[in-house]
Structures are given as structure tokens and as C-alpha cells.
Structure 1
Amino acid sequence: MTYTPVAPFRVSTFDLDQLNQQFADALPQEILGWCVQHLSARLVQTSAFNVDDMVITDLLYRELRPSKPVPVLFLDTLHHFPQTLELVAKAQKRYDLDLRVYQVPEVTSRAAFAARYGEALWDTDIQQFHHLTKVEPLQRGLADLGAVAWITGRRRDQAVTRGEMPIFELDTHQRLKVNPLAAWTRKQSWIYVFEHSVIYNPLHDQGYASIGDEPITTAVEDGEDERAGRWRGTGKTECGIHL
């Protein structure tokens, strides 16, 4: 199936309530197909290469195959697990991704980051750590790409704080933010992975339900929220890019 874009919409013309009603029971590929057709070259997928992100990439690059590939924006925080970076390379090779990597300006390693901003900044000022490594690079990347809409891999069942998340919403910069897996469950994502042989981070098999930066990500125990291993003990529920 190949989607050919039509004339792009302006975000200001969207009726979000109508869109959310229209796609309330739609499959993720139907939501993504609409985005590809109507948002054309102004659409970006943001990906941390967690399992849900890989589902979306597979749908975009294997099933929908738009005439212009959707750029995949990856934030290299310099603190990822090696397994995450290995998966990024494998995914780029498998799908021939239009991969765009953004990181902290003028810093290229963990050691350089620590020398400039202090050792273990996540312990002393986690808000600043996330602003430097995620919030600012994300906004810079979306601006550079001219994005009017960006796709996330969030689901409502990932955490209590995401329970009412809509499929379509506006971010703080008035871009359209699309959550095509909002109504899916973790089980549905994994069923898709196994049915379509989607590659995924091996840390998922070691109890890491949600994978972020290595120094502040742990495995989760039975009965814990999927995202309980992110920023454990800090009281944080989001890194800042989805507030």
C-alpha cells in the first residue's frame, strides 16, 4: 500500500474534536494514513526506539510507504544504553530510514557533557538535564524540519497520567501532535511486533518495559506501571517533551 499526499492542511483549520471522534475506533495505520495524505512533507515521527516507536516506524516504512518518507527524529541524549544505539543502526539499515539525529549543541560524549554541565546532572537538576538533552533538541529538530505535525508512540495504558490522552492534540507551539497508538494496549503492540517480525530493543526482554537514559532507567517489577522504571524515586512522570 502506497499513500500519495494531497494538498497539506493548515493546523489552524483542524477541528480536533471532530478528528478525535472520527478516529476514535480507527486502527493506527488508518490514523497514520490520514496523516500521510493530509500533512505531507510537514510530518515527522519522533522516536526513542521503544517498542511502540518501532511499531509506528514499521507501519510508516513497510506498510504505508509514503512517496516521501516521513523523517524519524531521534534525540541522542549521549546517555542511551548501547543496545538502544545498536537498534537505531539496525532500524536505519532495515527500513532505509530518513533518520535525523539531534543532541546537545557542541557536546559529543558523556564525558564532554559532564565536563560542561557537571557530573550526574540528572541527580542535581533533572529538569535541566532533560531540557538540555531532550526538550531543546526536540524543538530545534521540529523547527529545522518545518514540522506542522509530529507522531509519538504514547499509549493511554502506559501510565495513569496518560489515561485521557487524545489521538490528536496541539502542543505548546501549536503543532499537531498525533498519538496513533493511544487506544492500543501494550499487548497489542507486542502482538504486532511478533506478527510482523519487527526488530526491538533486547532490553525489553530483560524487564525494561520503557527504555530511556541508562543512568536513570531501571527494569520494572510485576504489578508496576510500565513507566515505573523511568526516573525512579524522582516523582517525575514525564521528561518534559510531552507536558
Structure 2
Amino acid sequence: MVQCIEAPVSDLSAIDAVAACNPKRFIQQLDLNLLNRRFAQASPQEILAWCTTQIPTGLVQTTSFSFLAISHMLYEELDQPVPVVFLDTLHLFPETLETARKAQVRYQLDLHTYSAVGASSRESFAARYGENLWETDIDRFYELTKVESLQRALSDLNAVAWITGRRRDQSESRKDLPIFERDDQGRLKINPLAHWTRKDIWAYIFKHDVLYNPLHDQGYTSIGDQPLTTRTSADEDERAGRWRGTEKTECGIHL
């Protein structure tokens, strides 16, 4: 019988052994420096395989339905489906919503969609929170549509760890992104694509016929809310089309 360890683990075998404990305690005890060294050269599939094995409950994936590489890995390559959280801000492109619909059908996703409290459309959002809130108070807009919605989703799903699709090459602000980190609630935050490049993503998509948002074919390299997303030119960062003309670099859920 494996006994729980009450302090941060200090060797690789202990990391694996302590996984038999309560998932929340397991997450609290992980030595992230050790874990990041262990997986520094690992493939995304190896990272995800470790996560699904060691965190059999309380692991979720978040997606914006831009690229479906991680969902494809989990649901088809590894056959390890986990709950998928989608934050519908009610201001997304129609193409994004259609990609979400197609992905749920193709991969049979265990999909959980969340929106701002008390709103189910752009019109009801405006009636409750104000017209064009992103123009008058962009931080409030994202607090309602992304930050609070995500925390509600993670709480409802009893999440102790969540998977993101962030990469180091996406922007200057993400260049030091670790594979494993903790959010401000103490949950494990996993970035299995951290060391992949945009070229790696597209190579994987073409090799495995992975679903992706068709807006990428129209010059959108990073896709968010329709009123706040523009096309990018070849010499710009991938996320340059987000919040163009402002100093904003993140919506808030990764801060």
C-alpha cells in the first residue's frame, strides 16, 4: 500500500508513488522544478500521458477551439478523454462556434460550455452588463466572460489540474512559459505544447488531419472575440491581432 508523503517530493520515483494519494494533496506536494526538468525534452503526448495516469480524477482541458491538437492527442492518440471546458464569451466568431460543434461530434468530447452569469446571447449580455463593455471596461468584460467563467467551471468539475494550449513562441510575454506551473488557486496548470512552435502545430495538424478553426486560413493567427481580433501580417507575432492598439497581452485567465 502506498502512503501519502506530507512534504514536497524530492525524487522521480516519489513523484510517481505519491499519485495514489488524494489528488489535491498530490498536486500540492509536487516539486514543479523537478517535474519541469523531468519533462523538459518530452513530447506533448508523453506529458499528457503522465498527467492522465497520475491525475485520473480532477484533470480537465481548456480550449478556445482554435487548434484541436491537444484534444486529438487525448481523445484519439492516447484514448484518454478528459472533460473539456469551453468559455463562450458570447462574442466569438461564428466560425469558432462551428468548430466547437464539429469537434464535439468528431471527437465525442465531454464538453462543458460556460458563459457569463445571467447571459445567453450578445443581446442579453449587453442588457445585463452594458453595451460594448469591451470598449468601456475591457478588464471587467474579461472578468465576466473568461476569468469568473473559468473559475466556476473548474470548481464545478472539481478540477485539481487543467491543460492549456499555450506555447512559448506565441508572444514575448510567453517566452519563459514552463510546462508545469500552479495557478493562484493552487491547481496544477499544464502547458504540454510549451516548447512546440507554430510550425510544429501545423505539421501535426496536417499529419493527423486534425480539426482547426478555418479563420486561420483567412489570416487570423490567434483567434479570440470578434470585436477584439484582427488579422496579422507575416512579420507580426502570432498574437499581434489580439487587442490591437492596446497594451493588453492576455485576457486575464493566465495572469
Structure with greater contact order relative to length (CA < 8 Å, sep ≥ 6): 1
User: Does the alignment pair 1:16 with 2:32?
Assistant: yes
Deviation sequence 1:140-176 (CA, Å, 0-9, x none): 0001000000000000000000000100000010000
> What is the rounded CA distance, in whole Å, between the counterparts of 1:189 and 1:175 in structure 2?
26
Corresponding residue of 1:3:
none
User: Does the alignment pair 1:61 with 2:84?
Assistant: no
SS across alignment from 2:20: coil
With normalisation by structure 2, the TM-score equals: 0.90
Deviation sequence 1:37-71 (CA, Å, 0-9, x none): 001121000000112xx1000000001112xx200
Corresponding residue of 1:180:
192
Contact conserved, 1:7 with 1:40, CA < 8 A, in 2?
no
User: Does the alignment pair 1:43 with 2:59?
Assistant: yes
Runs of 4 or more consecutive aligned structure 1 residues displaced over 3 Å after TM superposition: 6-9
> What is the rounded CA distance, in whole Å, between the counterparts of 1:119 and 1:235 in structure 2?
22
> What is the rounded CA distance, in whole Å, between the counterparts of 1:50 and 1:156 in structure 2?
17
Counterpart code for 1:79: H
Match of 1:232 among 225, 240, 244: 244
Q: CA RMSD in A?
A: 0.9
> What is the rounded CA distance, in whole Å, between the counterparts of 1:209 and 1:40 in structure 2?
33
Q: How many residues align?
A: 234
List runs of 5+ in structure 2 lacking aligned partners: 1-18
> What is the rounded CA distance, in whole Å, between the counterparts of 2:139 and 2:224 in structure 1?
15
Counterpart code for 1:85: L
Percentage of pairs with the same residue: 62
List runs of 5+ in structure 1 lacking aligned partners: 1-5
Contact conserved, 2:118 with 2:128, CA < 8 A, in 1?
no
Compute the displacement of 1:126 (Å): 0.3
With normalisation by structure 1, the TM-score equals: 0.95
